[in-house]
């Protein structure tokens, strides 16, 4: 048995390498948010809510809504909604491209595709300053249901190969304003990280005749030390290969590769079960780390191949802490994690949620 107080862990699917330096582990107190959230460099009318385009009564400040859940009898682009989707005012991609099938083309040694795609904002709440962790019962379910509905809508265009769903909470996580919202981008290509995951998972499956993710979940359920919370059909855990402190993955316990296939049937409403677990995890993160900024994203199979034997959809949450990514992490893709996933999971489980 080695006496070295550090451990290199490698994920055979993604290739991610993490160093857990147990002899240099930081305490929870050193990783919690201390300073107030700083919106000083942002538009103060939006920050205050006075000029927030996402607030009720300001519907004319956004592009026309694409979809909404609203009270019966209310009209489009007016108050009465609970979740509302609008085009992003500064879209990453242009959806006005003519309706023809896109193909990558070579430019020298590189590949290029026209910048076509869809970019939407999901306004998750009518309250200007709110947190998904504190939302009323059913609100998180509505948001997750909208993610599912929008995925199905966007993939109606055959040029869309992948739907990226993500949420930036707080300025340090990249949010542009405090009103809770997530984003959905329909891409004509498969994102790099997902492509690497798919290749690694397929190679693992061919060699072992088994899904890597299903095996990971079985291991977590057997060992229990990294589990944050478990329900009948889902598991939340701090992964063995955690790039950052308090990174959490939420995944279905049974094999399912495509997020939008999550069941909403009344006899097996797994979407509601997932939404409730998601909210609980966010509560635990908020309590444990004093309401940190965070990034949340959904990793799912491509729209062009929704059911795969070797891939497993999951949601990943990465809180922003005082641990930073510097030259070693950015330049070489090796991550120094100052708090182990085992310690992080213990802290999160200890949070008392109501």
d(CA 118, CA 54): 19
Q: Is the pLDDT of residue 143 over 80?
A: yes
**139 phi and psi angles, rounded to 5 deg:** -70, -40
Q: How far apart are CA 4 and CA 169, in angstroms?
A: 37
Band (115; pLDDT cuts 50, 70, 90): confident
pLDDT in the model for residue 238 = 98
DSSP string, 133-153: GGPPTTHHHHHHHHHHHHHHH
More confident residue, 287 or 116: 287
Predicted TM-score of the model (pTM): 0.94
Q: What is the pLDDT of residue 153?
A: 96
Residue 279 makes CB contacts below 8 A (sequence gap 6+) with: 132, 133, 135, 140
pLDDT score of 71: 95
State how far the Cα of 150 lies from the Cα of 122, in Å rounded to an integer.
Answer: 9
* 88-110 mean pLDDT: 84
Domains present along the chain, CATH in parentheses: 7-34+191-350 (3.30.428.10), 44-157+176-187 (3.30.428.10)
Greatest extent of the chain over all pairs of C-alpha atoms, in Å: 70
pLDDT at 5: 73
């Amino acid at each position: 048995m080695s006496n070295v107080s550090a451990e290199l862990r490698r994920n055979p699917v993604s290739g991610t390498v993490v160093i857990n330096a147990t002899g240099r582990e930081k305490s929870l107190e050193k990783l919690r948010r201390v300073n107030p959230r700083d919106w000083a460099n942002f538009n103060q009318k939006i920050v205050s809510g006075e000029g927030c385009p996402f607030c009720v009564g300001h519907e004319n400040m956004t592009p026309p809504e694409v979809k909404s859940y609203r009270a019966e009898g209310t009209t489009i682009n007016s108050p009465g909604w609970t979740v509302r989707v609008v085009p992003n005012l500064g879209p990453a991609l242009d959806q006005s491209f003519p309706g023809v099938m896109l193909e990558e083309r070579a430019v020298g040694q590189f590949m290029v595709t026209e910048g076509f795609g869809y970019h939407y904002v999901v306004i998750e709440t009518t309250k200007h300053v709110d947190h998904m962790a504190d939302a009323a019962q059913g609100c998180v379910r509505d948001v997750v249901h909208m993610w599912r509905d929008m995925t199905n809508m966007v993939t109606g265009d055959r040029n869309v190969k992948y739907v990226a769903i993500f949420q930036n909470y707080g300025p340090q996580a990249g949010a542009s304003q405090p009103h809770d919202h997530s984003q959905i981008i329909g891409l004509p290509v498969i994102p790099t990280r997902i492509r690497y995951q798919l290749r690694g998972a397929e190679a693992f499956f061919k060699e072992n005749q088994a899904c890597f993710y299903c095996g990971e979940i079985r291991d977590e359920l057997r060992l229990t030390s990294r589990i944050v919370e478990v329900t009948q059909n889902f598991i939340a855990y701090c992964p063995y290969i955690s790039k950052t402190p308090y990174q959490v993955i939420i995944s279905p316990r049974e094999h399912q590769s495509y997020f939008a296939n999550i069941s909403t049937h009344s006899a097996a409403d797994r979407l509601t079960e997932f939404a409730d677990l998601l909210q609980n995890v966010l509560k635990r993160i908020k309590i444990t780390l004093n309401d940190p900024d965070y990034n949340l994203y959904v990793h799912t199979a491509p729209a062009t191949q929704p059911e795969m034997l070797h891939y497993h959809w999951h949601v990943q949450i990465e809180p922003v802490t005082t641990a930073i990514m510097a030259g070693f992490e950015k330049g070489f893709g090796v991550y120094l994690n100052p708090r182990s996933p085992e310690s992080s999971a213990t802290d999160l489980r200890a949070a008392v949620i109501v």
